[in-house]
Amino acid sequence: MAKKILVIDDDPNIVDYLVVLFKDNGYETCSATDGVEGLDKVKTEKPDLITLDLDMPERWGTIMHRRLKKSEEIKDIPVIVISGLERKFPIRKKVMHYLGKPFDRNELLAIVQRTIGEGASA
């Protein structure tokens, strides 16, 4: 069974790119365009990993991350922040990895593979 990645970003181009990138590498995907929808999807989809933008409408990524980590059932899901924000945010110390936009696709895939393994089971 393939590992599942939830992509949370308000930029449809980034969402489309990441969904295709992950699917092409054997992962299942689901997506959300803001933090409110993202939190709902985490609970219903039970992803193995989350990519999270910080600057989004409805609920900022930092607030969403705090809520994720407070919930017993989902607090251990690894989070990779992918953000265009240059400033240092306290969340950087609390997430597994922080990639700036634009990001290197091979670096992202290497991080994902080290964290949750290959996309599809052999």
Domain count of the chain? 1
Residue 24 lies in a domain: yes
Contacts of 24 (CB under 8 A, 6+ apart): none
Q: What is the 3-state secondary structure (H, E, C) of the chain?
A: CCCEEEEECCCHHHHHHHHHHHHHCCCEEEEECCHHHHHHHHHHHCCCEEEECCCCCCCCHHHHHHHHHHCCCCCCCCEEEEECCCCCCHHHHCCCEEEECCCCHHHHHHHHHHHHCCCCCC
Query: The whole model's pTM is what?
Result: 0.85
pLDDT value at 122 more than 50: no
Residue 65 near residue 48, CB atoms below 8 Å: no
47: containing domain: 4-116
Residue 103 lies in a domain: yes
Residue 94 lies in a domain: yes
- Residue 13: which CATH number? 3.40.50.2300
Residue 36 lies in a domain: yes
Residue 122 lies in a domain: no
Residue 108 lies in a domain: yes
Residue 109 lies in a domain: yes
Query: How do residues 89-119 score in pLDDT, each as one tens digit?
Result: 555 445 567 787 889 999 999 999 999 998 8
Residue 30 lies in a domain: yes
Over range 41-58, report the average pLDDT: 85
Query: How do residues 55-70 score in pLDDT, each as one tens digit?
Result: 766 655 566 666 666 7
